[in-house]
Amino acid sequence: MTAAVRSWAVRRNALVLPSDRCSHTIPTPHGGGIAIASISIILGILFSVLDWVPDSTMVAFMTLGFVMLALGVWDDFGDVSPKLRLCAHFAVVAIGMWSIPRLPVFSVFGYQVDSSVAFLLWPLLAIAWVWLINLYNFMDGIDGLAAIQALLLFGGMALNFWYLGYVQWAWISLFILGAVLGFTILNWPPAKIFMGDGGSGFLGFIIGFMMLLSAAQTKVSMWSWIILLTLFIADATTTLIVRFVTGQNVFAAHRLHAYQKLTQRVGRHAPVTLGYGAIILAVLMPASLVANTVPYSGPFLFAGLFLAASASAFALGAGRREVSA
């Protein structure tokens, strides 16, 4: 399906042109996220038919997923103001949280926060989910990076679900992984097609949706999801904070993330994408399993990994503009 979308984009001359805002040097078609989202939404029907997920929840997933895709494609091929996009994200997230059958039960350093109190945390979760949607877009700036993060995230979560006996959820994760894999083949450096805002926004949405839904239906820790996303969270958050503190316009497009700085130093996309993938495989994936086997370890593991990743991003110059001599 990704190949078909690429052919359509080429015929329409829907190309991302090289500019100071991007890390690419040749015109490349975009809109590959249409393939990821379309396959994922079709899979949602399968999950509902198999009774793996409640019908009403799947209807919400498919409807809201389509809205996120449409909003992103509109932004890819048109122009959506940042304020309108942010308002739409909060609206989609609010409906998505409402559609989940019951509130997850949270464990905060051993203290169980049950459903009678957990709703107080939902405003924070909504903000975090919207940030996830946006940071996934920010981190989709070099060939293969956002795709490899999605592959290893869903692969790692499939392993976590399987290890704890939630076979259906393991299959759900693997099916979504398969939807991303087809795109990754054509997005691998040098990319033949880009994901676009339609794809990155959709992935940020479904990751948040699956994180909350699985927390409501299983005993797999949400910290496993968060730990697997540590590099993206740390890079995007550190860059945003540095840009805000230094008085930059945080809504303006830029190439100041740590992964972009690293790509500029290396001169190629593939080593950076492979390096991020290697860290996820060697460090974050084992840590995500520990979060499910050692009680109360999740927040401590994430805190340590986040601080290390943020320090590395800062050392690479994340968020800082080059000063001309």
Residue pair 43/175 in contact (Cβ under 8 Å)? The answer is yes
Residue 190 preceded by cis peptide, ω within 30: yes
Does the structure show a pLDDT above 70 at 189? Answer: yes
- Max mean pLDDT among 44-58, 98-112, 125-139 falls in 125-139
Q: What is the pLDDT of residue 82?
A: 85
pLDDT in tens, 204-253: 999 999 998 898 888 898 999 999 999 999 999 999 999 999 999 988 88
Look at residues 103, 99, 113, 109 and name the one whose alpha carbon lies nearest to residue 54.
99
Mean pLDDT of the region 31-59: 78
Residue 310 CB neighbours (<10 A): 20
CA dist., res. 129 & res. 209, Å (int) = 9
What pLDDT score was predicted for residue 141?
A: 85
Task: Please identify which residue in the block is written with the tokens 């019908």.
Answer: 55
Between CA 159 and CA 288 the distance in angstroms is 10
Confidence of residue 51 (pLDDT cuts 50, 70, 90): confident
One-letter amino acid identity for 81? S
Mean pLDDT over the full length of the chain: 86
* pLDDT (tens digit per residue) in 109-141: 555 655 556 667 778 889 999 999 999 999 988
pLDDT band at 321 (very low <50, low <70, confident <90, very high): confident
Cα–Cα distance measured from residue 175 to residue 310, given in angstroms and rounded to the nearest whole number: 32
Residue 59 pLDDT? 82
Euclidean distance between the first and the last CA atom of the chain, given in angstroms as a whole number:
49
Residue in the block written with tokens 């899979």: 43
d(CA 47, CA 44): 5
How large a percentage of the chain has pLDDT more than 70?
83
- Residues 187, 144 contacting (CB under 8 angstroms): yes
